[in-house]
Amino acid sequence: MAGTGNLSAVLKKKGELVLEDTATPLPEKNEVQIKMHVVGICGSDIHYWLNGGIGDFIVNAPMILGHEAAGVVSALGEGVTTLKVGDRVAIEPGVPCRMCSFCKEGRYNLCPDIIFCANPPVNGSLRSFYCHDADYCYKLPDHVSLEEGALLEPLSVGVHACRRAGIRLGHNVLILGSGPIGLLSLLSAKAMGATRIIITDLDQGRLDMALKLGAHHALRVDTRDPEEMARRVEEALGCKPDISVECSGAEPSIQTGIYATKSGGVLVLVGLGPPTVNIPIVNAAVREVDIRGIFRYANCYPRALEMIASGKVDAKPLITHHFPLEKTLDAFETSRTGAGGAIKVMIHCDQ
C-alpha cells in the first residue's frame, strides 16, 4: 500500500455505509492497478448494506463494496505483458486458485478458494484505485464504453444461466422476474436464438422495459397461485415453455417455473431467496423437468464482451441512473427503492 487519497465506499457494519480515504494499493506480481471509472450497484451490495450478510457470508469487519466494475489501467505489476497503462478494461471480479479440480475442469466458479470482490472478507472495487489479477481484466474495444464494460458482470450471469439451460435456436423461454438479471437473461436468450420469450414480474415498469428489449409477452404477477400463473403463461405463449429461467428467488415464482415448464424441459434457478423453499418436486420428477442451479459464471466474460461488441446485445437501456462516488449513499438508496424507474444504477469513481 502507498499513500492515501483513495476514496472508497466502506460498509462499516449492517446499515452503515460511509466514504473513507483508504491506502492506494500498488499492484503485486501479475496484477494491474486500475483507476476506477464506473461501478454498478448489484442486489448483493444492497443486501450486504441492509442485512450485514448473505447466507454464510457475514460482514464481520469493514468491507469496501462493489464488483460490477470497469476502469483504466494505471500501473503494471511484475510479469504483466497482456495489458499496458491506459488500457480500458472490464474486471471479472472472481479470481480462482487455478489449481483445484474445479478450476482444471473449467468450472472455476465452483472453486472453494475463489477470491471474489466485495464478498466478505474481500474488499471490492467501489473506490478510486483498485488492484486485480491481469488475466481477469478484459481489454475493451474502442467502441465499447466503460459503462458497458461494467455491465459485463451481470450480463455474464445471464449468459451462464442460458448456457446451463441449453437455450438454442427455436426454444420458447419463460423468464421469471424482470430485474436486471432477468432482463439480461432475456437479452442473452434472444442472442442465443430463443424464438419466443415470455417474462413475468410484479412491477409493470420492468415489464414495459422487457417488451422494449424484445420480450414477446409480459405478464404481471397479481396472484400467489403458481398453477394459475403457469396456466396464464401457457395461454399467452400458446404452449408450455421449453426452458424457464427463474431470476427472483421467490418461492411462488419457483413453483410457477416448475408447473409452467413443459415435460422434459429445464428450469434454471438464478435468483437467490430463502435457503429453504417448498416446491412441487413430484410434479417435476414425474414430468422429467430438470432443475439446475447456477453460481455466478465461468468462462462467460469473453462471450458477453463479444455479444456487446458485435451489437448482438444492447444492454445500455438498462442503465437508468448515474451518481458520482461522493453520492454513493444516494445511489444505493435509489437502487434500493427503484425510485425514478431505477434498474441499473452506476457510480462514477472518477468524477
Q: What is the pLDDT along the chain (351 residues), one digit of tens a residue?
A: 555 789 999 999 999 999 999 999 999 999 999 999 999 999 999 999 999 998 889 999 999 999 999 999 999 999 999 999 999 999 999 999 999 999 999 999 999 999 999 999 999 999 999 999 999 999 999 999 999 999 999 999 999 999 999 999 999 999 999 999 999 999 999 999 999 999 999 999 999 999 999 999 999 999 999 999 999 999 999 999 999 999 999 999 999 999 999 999 999 999 988 999 999 999 999 999 999 999 999 999 999 999 999 999 999 999 999 999 999 999 999 999 999 999 999 999 997
Same domain, 168 and 287: yes
Whole-model pTM? 0.96
Burial class (CB in 10 A: 0-12, 13-18, 19+), 160: buried
* Structural domain count, the chain: 2
Q: What does the alpha-carbon distance between residue 8 and residue 115 come to, in Å, rounded to a whole number? A: 19
What CATH code is carried by the domain that includes residue 35? 3.90.180.10
Same domain, 288 and 168: yes
CA angle 186, 65, 164 (to 5 degrees): 30
Same domain, 181 and 279: yes
What is the domain extent for residue 251? 158-293
| Structural domain contains residue 302 | no
Same domain, 91 and 216: no
pLDDT at 285: 98
Q: What does the alpha-carbon distance between residue 261 and residue 60 come to, in Å, rounded to a whole number? A: 41
Q: What does the alpha-carbon distance between residue 182 and residue 102 come to, in Å, rounded to a whole number? A: 27
What CATH code is carried by the domain that includes residue 184? 3.40.50.720
| Structural domain contains residue 307 | no
Same domain, 9 and 81: yes
Please measure the distance between the N-terminal and C-terminal CA atoms of the chain and give it in whole angstroms: 23
| Structural domain contains residue 148 | no
pLDDT, tens digit, 9 for 90 and up, residues 239-249: 999 999 999 99
Same domain, 34 and 121: yes
Same domain, 277 and 162: yes
Q: What does the alpha-carbon distance between residue 332 and residue 335 come to, in Å, rounded to a whole number? A: 5
Same domain, 18 and 131: yes
SS3 341: helix
pLDDT, tens digit, 9 for 90 and up, residues 108-151: 999 999 999 999 999 999 999 999 999 999 999 999 999 999 99
